[in-house]
């Protein structure tokens, strides 16, 4: 049994527990997770039906049939042609699965035109979101997923080391130029794409947590927030380091960097099965608050990472969600001093039987 079929069978068990009759998926991370078939959303009806019992079925345009059969474990592939009305084919599928009057969970990202067609085909059905059954499965990574995440982590580690080795050569570059060089290095180290554009925040730009990159020139002594990742077999890495490429930083910087590094360590050391996600956030936040920078830590401590670079579980204040073995998430405390500089340090961790495994292993200090 492939990992994709195992996940689908687990999804069917959750459908039964949720008293739902089927999940209907659209080209998305959820469809990839269960079927192994990856495609971007488009204007044609391409749907995967996962019933509570029995075999799943694809409904696809006939020009996709060969591709779906080659890339997915799902054997039941039903087609329609451009000369057909896809709504007729949709009616046949929902009738075949006897979904009239049932409870149907649709992909959270399904385009409105397709969800509306489903509603028209099933006017008496009760609709919900597929995340009810799929999200808990995706939050616990299996061996195949962990292997891809480890390889993605190793690739970004290698790229980070090469960025640090630039040292004084990075001074005089613009943030845009350094971001382009980072993308080149990620590809050179085996990355298959990027999950988000590299964040390069130099000097005062680093005080904006989601500053992307711009035309500011990196100067000697600038703290530079570097946040980037790569993708391997659909799974991303995500790592942040704050460095000074050359020269001496502002007087307060070394202190702030040390506080953020201590907060990251405290949070990682809190991770183990059964611990609430909010407790991990609190471990990081207490260190920063005790140092007097509590009001400058302005975001959650972390987010889950999987097929999406932001997914469950979220490491946020007040969350009572208990961590489980196989959860993968970021730990990324930060302190941001407006018009001066920012500091963020981020690693990905896997919850293990007795603690946490780090997926990143590069220097966390600020000197290059």
Q: Which of 86, 119, 139 is the last residue of a domain?
A: 139
Indicate whether 198 and 300 sit together in one domain: yes
The structure tokens listed for 282 are 């609190």
Residue 318 resides in a domain:
yes
- Cβ neighbours of residue 141 under 8 Å, at least 6 residues apart? 149, 306, 326, 327, 328, 350
Flag whether 105 is in a domain: yes
Q: Which of 121, 139, 157 corresponds to the end of one domain? A: 139
Segment 177-232, tens digit of pLDDT: 999 999 999 999 999 999 999 999 999 999 999 999 999 999 999 999 999 999 99
Last residue of a domain, one of 139, 164, 195: 139
Torsion of CA 84, 90, 95, 99, to 10 degrees: -170
Domain count, the chain: 2
Query: 237 and 91, same structural domain?
Result: no
CATH number at residue 228: 3.90.230.10
Distance set, CA 77 to CA 5, 7, 60, 63, 98 (Å): 15, 19, 7, 12, 18
| Burial environment of residue 170 by CB neighbours within 10 A (0 to 12, 13 to 18, 19 or more) | buried
pLDDT tens column, 147-161: 999 999 999 999 999
Predicted TM-score of the model (pTM): 0.94
Shared domain for 286 and 177, answered yes or no, is: yes
| Averaged pLDDT of the chain | 97
220 and 250 housed in the same domain: yes
Residue 81 within any structural domain of the chain: yes
CATH (domain of 25): 3.40.350.10
- Does 192 share its domain with 314? yes
Same domain, 280 and 352: yes
Domain membership of residue 366 (yes or no) is: no
367 domain residue, yes or no: no
Verify that 232 and 113 share a domain, yes or no.
no
Instruction: Give the model's pLDDT for residue 1.
Output: 85
The proportion of the chain whose per-residue pLDDT surpasses 90, expressed as a percent, equals 100
Q: How many CB atoms lie within 10 A of CB 117?
A: 17
Residue 249 lies in a domain: yes
Is 147 found in the same domain as 131?
A: no
Q: What is the pLDDT of residues 313-361, one digit of tens each?
A: 999 999 999 999 999 999 999 999 999 999 999 999 999 999 999 999 9
Number of residues assigned to the chain: 368
Structural domain contains residue 347 = yes
Give a yes or no: residue 153 inside a domain.
Answer: yes
- Please indicate, yes or no, whether residues 314 and 165 belong to a single structural domain of this protein: yes
Whether residue 105 is found in the same domain as residue 170: no
193 and 226 belong to one structural domain: yes
Domain limits at 343?
A: 143-358
What confidence category does residue 245 fall into, taking pLDDT thresholds of 50, 70 and 90? very high
Residues 187 and 126 in one domain: no
Q: Does residue 139 surpass a pLDDT of 90?
A: yes
């Amino acid at each position: 049994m492939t990992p994709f079929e195992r996940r689908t069978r687990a999804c069917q068990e959750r459908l039964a527990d949720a008293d739902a009759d089927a999940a209907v998926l659209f080209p998305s991370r959820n469809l990839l997770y269960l079927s192994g078939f990856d495609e971007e959303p488009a204007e044609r009806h391409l749907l995967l039906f996962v019933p509570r019992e029995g075999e799943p079925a694809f409904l696809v345009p006939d020009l996709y049939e060969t591709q779906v059969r080659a890339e997915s474990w799902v054997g039941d592939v039903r087609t329609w042609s451009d000369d057909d009305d896809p709504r007729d084919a949709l009616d046949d599928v929902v009738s075949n699965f006897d979904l009239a009057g049932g409870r149907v969970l649709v992909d959270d990202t399904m385009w409105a035109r397709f969800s509306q067609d489903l509603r028209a085909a099933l006017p008496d059905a009760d609709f919900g979101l597929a995340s009810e059954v799929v999200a808990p499965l995706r939050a616990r990574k299996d061996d195949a997923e962990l292997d891809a995440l480890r390889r993605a982590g190793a690739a970004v580690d290698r790229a980070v080391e090469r960025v640090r080795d630039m040292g004084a050569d990075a001074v005089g570059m613009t943030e845009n130029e350094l971001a382009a060089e980072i993308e080149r290095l990620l590809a050179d180290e085996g990355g298959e794409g990027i999950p988000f554009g590299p964040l390069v925040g130099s000097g005062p730009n680093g005080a904006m947590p989601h500053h992307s990159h711009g035309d500011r020139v990196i100067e000697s002594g600038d703290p530079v927030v570097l946040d980037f990742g790569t993708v391997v077999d659909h799974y991303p890495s995500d790592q942040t380091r704050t460095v000074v490429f050359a020269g001496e930083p502002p007087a307060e910087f070394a202190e702030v960097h040390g506080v953020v590094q201590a907060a990251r360590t405290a949070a990682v050391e809190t991770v183990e099965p059964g611990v609430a996600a909010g407790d991990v956030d609190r471990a990081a936040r207490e260190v920063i608050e005790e140092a007097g920078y509590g009001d400058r830590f302005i975001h959650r401590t972390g987010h889950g990472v999987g097929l999406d670079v932001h997914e469950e579980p979220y490491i946020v204040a007040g969350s009572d969600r208990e961590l489980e073995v196989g959860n993968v998430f970021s730990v990324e405390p930060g302190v941001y001093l407006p018009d001066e500089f920012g500091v963020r340090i981020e690693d990905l961790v896997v919850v293990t039987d007795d603690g946490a495994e780090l997926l990143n292993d590069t220097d966390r200090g600020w000197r290059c």
